[in-house]
Amino acid sequence: MKIIAVPNYEALSRCAADIVEAQLRQKPDTCLGTVTGSSPEGMYRELVRRHREEGLELSRIRTVNTDEYVGLSGTHPQSYRYYLEEHFFRPCGIPSELTAVPQGDAADPEAECRRYEALCSSHPADLQILGVGHTGHIGFNEPADDFPELTHLVDLAPQTLAANARYFDDPDTMPRQAITVGLGVLMRAKRILLLLSGSGKAEITERLLCGRIVPQVPATILRLHPDVTAVIDEDALQLVRAHAPNLIP
Ligand code: GLP
């Protein structure tokens, strides 16, 4: 795992956008594995700026998102489809037909998991963007007794519900389940760009980089992937700098 230490969130977002831009210039029809949450927000903003002000071309990319809340349609303001359309796809001129997000309001969620798994298998990500939840989840792969391989339904952990409640006007209406790609999809990505920011991620960053590779911290499996670049700001790195400084270039 290549670690790029950056001073703050703004630098993290610029660095992540640099990596995505370089990928798109090298392969304009890149399949980009997207993710939502606060970690990638600044990167998406910077990519939109570069598209609008510097002519960065994104109209040929394909995107595949890691997850979606069960029960939310793509037009629900708190759905991941809606977020990505508003903050990335539409502003960057990415045609919706080239984008994929699990269908949260599918009549048969288990069938949707199977459909989405097949779609991801036919479109492996050239570059998969990932954040890491406070529980160590990637996508919505929550701590468990094994590493789930396939796209599946997941009961969201209490800590995850608490962390994501901020996005819902009435937390009681927040879905308790999600559809998430499994670790098989993520580990088949050619390259992974991992983003970690803030003192709230210091503990999980240390467990990710220094702890044992266990399904109770799902993100640790990324240490077995051959091409991961982790862009981490100093607030998130503070415990690693204190306990394992040799890990940081
Ligand atoms: C969210 C998303 C993940 C995201 C993670 C971290 O629930 N399902 O895709 O990577 O939790 O989010 P954040 O970047 O806001 O910490």
- For 107-129, how does the pLDDT look when each residue is reduced to its tens digit (9 = 90+)? 999 999 999 999 999 999 999 99
Apex 120 CA angle, 119 and 121, nearest 5? 90
- Distance of CA 133 from the midpoint of ligand 1 (Å): 5
* Average confidence score pLDDT of the chain: 96
pLDDT tier, 138 (very low <50, low <70, confident <90, very high otherwise): very high
- For 44-56, how does the pLDDT look when each residue is reduced to its tens digit (9 = 90+)? 999 999 999 999 9
Per the DSSP assignment, residues forming a β-bridge with 6 are 233
Q: Is residue 163 over pLDDT 90?
A: no
CA distance 232 to 73: 33
Q: Is the CB of 66 under 6 A from ligand 1?
A: yes
Apex 179 CA angle, 78 and 144, nearest 5? 115
User: How far is residue 75 CA from its own chain's centroid?
Assistant: 20
Q: Residue 19 has what pLDDT?
A: 98
Nearest CA to ligand 1 atom 9: 139
Q: Is residue 7 over pLDDT 90?
A: yes
Q: Is the CB of 67 under 6 A from ligand 1?
A: yes
pLDDT tier, 167 (very low <50, low <70, confident <90, very high otherwise): confident
User: How far is residue 89 CA from its own chain's centroid?
Assistant: 15
- Distance of CA 177 from the midpoint of ligand 1 (Å): 14
Q: Residue 166 has what pLDDT?
A: 87
Q: Is the CB of 112 under 6 A from ligand 1?
A: no
Question: Average pLDDT, stretch 208-222?
Answer: 97
Q: Is the CB of 164 under 6 A from ligand 1?
A: yes
Residue bearing the bigger pLDDT, 166 or 138: 138
Residue to mutate, 9, 34, 39, ligand 1, most ligand atoms under 8 Å from C-beta: 39
